[in-house]
Structure 1
Amino acid sequence: MRCYATVFALTLAIFPMPVAAKESLGIYDSWGAFRDQDVPHCYAIAESEEITGKAERKSYISVGYWPNRNIRAQIHVRLSRDRSTNSRVMVGVGGRRFQLIANRSDGWSQDKRMDAAIIAALRSANSMTVESTGRDGRPIVDAYLLRGATTAIDAASLGCSNLN
């Protein structure tokens, strides 16, 4: 129950839309899947389990679907602290590393192929890290557990399969 409350509270904080617009598609360990029919938009989301250094905000990873925009399985990460403008944002998962495109606080896959590669790695790994360097020069390391990720991602995909 604690996990459900945490994931739901995180979702409300991340996506400031009317609460009634969000429908839970399920909570799977530390991951949740949600649908907003008004947008329409579905997503799987998880908050980081641990971070290195003092967090400025909650960090999370989401896998989003926007059927009207023909966007499927888009990776997005929110860093726990603002990064230095000259530092990279790297995702480490399943023995692979991916460099994201990023602004100060967020990162996205470079293209659909990278989205697919990260999701394939998520499906077979136990954990993931998102790393960068903060404005203060200290490392940013946000760590995620992936148990439940596959089911949440599939639930989000199915949840938006008939929305247009």
Structure 2
Amino acid sequence: MYKNLLLATLASALFSAHVFAEDISGTWQQIDDKTGSAKAIIKIDKEANNTYTGKIIKITPRPGYTPRETCNKCPAPYTNDPILGMEIIKGLKHIAGTNNYEKGRVIDPLAGKVYDAKVRLNATGKRLTLRAYMGVSTLGRSQTWIRLD
């Protein structure tokens, strides 16, 4: 009996640690939600204040598309900033006991708009879904990103 209890406790601890051990820090391939093509590579880091930020480290070339070099019609402090190296995600906070991250902000450097953001990491830790919205999450758009590291 004790052996079964010990095995069940150990399996439960390993399973729960695996499910929530992953965080979103790392390198991600951004996939365009309209075309399905690769758009950019984003490096997400955990900051000292336990929030997450994401920076564009590479713009993925696409056939027939000339990438913009600077942020288009972006508000301060992004006005005319280069897109490569731009911090596009700020302030994401992990929701304890889940694979969700909320209360962030994301900028679309092609449209020049800043949105509220939340992220959900899938169970394997290999994909995340970024939801960008204004006011109400149901009125937003989602992108899937794929972990590269």
Establish whether TM, by shorter chain, passes 0.5: no
Structure holding more helix per residue: 1
Radius of gyration: which is bigger?
2
TM-score where L is the length of structure 2: 0.30
